[in-house]
Amino acid sequence: MTDFPEQQPQHPTYPPRPPHDPAGPRPGTTGWASGGHVPPPVPPAPGPAAPSAPRHRARRGVGLMAAVAIAAAAIGGGTATVVERLTTDGAVAAAPAAVNGTTVSSGTTGTVTGVAQAVSPSIVEISASSGSGQSTGSGVIITSDGEIVTNNHVVSGASQITVRLSDGKSYQASVVGTDPAKDLALIKLQGASGLKAAALGDSDDLRVGDQVVAIGSPEGLTGTVTSGIVSALDRDVTVAKDDGGQQQQSDPRQSWPFEFGGQRFNGDTGSSKTTYKAIQTDASLNPGNSGGALINMRGQIIGINSAMYSPSSSSGSTAGSVGLGFAIPVNTVKADLDALRAGGGS
């Protein structure tokens, strides 16, 4: 019996296997490479079943995000460049509006300069004449038709009162009412209108150390501005109580006498006296500042300057301010206005 080599069964449908398969199946095909030549690999056709498809989709996603980021950066840079160019060319006017208080007028708010500009037109110089001489003081306009608050000792006993405004205009004035107990007086200009009235503040809001400005006419120097702070509050100041008889201050270089702490300053206060609570300030005050304004940094009147210490020199004349001045609180003035307008004090 003859042995024959075992024969492999042939499948009736598929062709016979090639004798040599050096490259294996060609990716992406269902057949085999013919002969020994292997053609270049062909990328797999896209399809949901392809194993490399998710990796390709992830790469496309990353690439898309990178492209969007680059485009956004380019647009943002372009926008910034456009804004910068517009701002440089002056076409963007809204940018400065974000900063408040940068104009010249607003910049003076809260400064001595701003207070002086705002209030000086409301402060006047008062010249009071009598048979015994003439005195000079200051006053504050409180109505547009010429009502003026001043110290009683400035106008007491005067037969003629002349008022000069900050613009140089002069008016005759008459006494409306006086309150010797508070050293206050109200006078009225004759034929005046359209004047700038001062704003009256609240002296109860004052604190020691607050900055203040004083405006008046010391030694006849109209519109003199000085500044300082509130040194103390509620000082008991005693002054001569002049009930309208003989005018006591005939020499404008002599300051009004007062007493404080049991001591006398600037002369003898006499036998008739009155005491009131005063604001103490180190703002420079000199003879002629009496009746003028003590002002807060908002431009509001918070006191009427009424007394100041001016020590005498060896020659007997008065020296300059030593930073010891007193003012009647404006709340005292406001409480007394109705009585002054009625002709007397409260």
Phi-psi region of 107 (alpha: psi -120 to 50; beta: other; left: phi over 0): alpha
Q: Is 56 a catalytic residue?
A: no
Give CA separation, 315 vs 164, 197, 255, 257, 318, in Å: 32, 41, 16, 19, 9
Spatial distance between the Cα atoms of 318 and 308, rounded to a whole number of angstroms:
11
Of 122, 130, 135, 153, which one is the catalytic site residue?
Answer: 153
Spatial distance between the Cα atoms of 336 and 222, rounded to a whole number of angstroms:
27
Spatial distance between the Cα atoms of 138 and 131, rounded to a whole number of angstroms:
20
Spatial distance between the Cα atoms of 59 and 73, rounded to a whole number of angstroms:
21
Of 120, 130, 138, 183, which one is the catalytic site residue?
Answer: 183
Spatial distance between the Cα atoms of 332 and 346, rounded to a whole number of angstroms:
11
Q: Which residues of the chain form beta strands (DSSP E)?
A: 123-130, 133-141, 147-150, 160-164, 170-179, 184-189, 199-200, 211-216, 224-240, 258-260, 263-265, 273-281, 293-295, 300-308, 325-329
Spatial distance between the Cα atoms of 15 and 315, rounded to a whole number of angstroms:
144
Q: Is 290 a catalytic residue?
A: yes
Of 138, 290, 310, 321, which one is the catalytic site residue?
Answer: 290
Residues with catalytic roles: 153, 183, 290
